[in-house]
């Protein structure tokens, strides 16, 4: 099984994509990575 890191945007489209990848069980999602805005402490893509 392949391992992967996913760039978590915190959006609904990403959540659906992650769900589909996990359901197939061909790739092990080892980590979710995201970017945070330091001042607002929010995910920068959906803040």
Domain range summary for the chain, segments of one domain joined by +: 2-43
Rounded to an integer, what distance in angstroms lies between the CA atom of residue 26 and that of residue 21? 7
pLDDT at residue 47 greater than cutoff 70? no
The model carries a pTM of 0.70
Query: How many whole angstroms from its chain centre is CA 13?
Result: 10
Continuous segment of H or E residues that includes residue 13: helix 12-24
| Predicted pLDDT of residue 31 | 95
| Predicted pLDDT of residue 36 | 84
Rounded to an integer, what distance in angstroms lies between the CA atom of residue 21 and that of residue 40? 31
Mean pLDDT of 33-45: 82
Mean pLDDT of 14-43: 90
Rounded to an integer, what distance in angstroms lies between the CA atom of residue 47 and that of residue 36? 9
| Predicted pLDDT of residue 8 | 84
- 37 three-class SS: strand
Percent of the chain with pLDDT over 90: 51
């Amino acid at each position: 099984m392949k391992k992967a890191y996913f760039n978590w945007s915190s959006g609904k489209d990403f959540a659906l994509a992650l769900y589909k990848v996990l359901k197939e069980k061909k790739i092990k999602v080892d980590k979710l990575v995201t970017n945070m805005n330091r001042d607002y402490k929010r995910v920068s893509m959906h803040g």
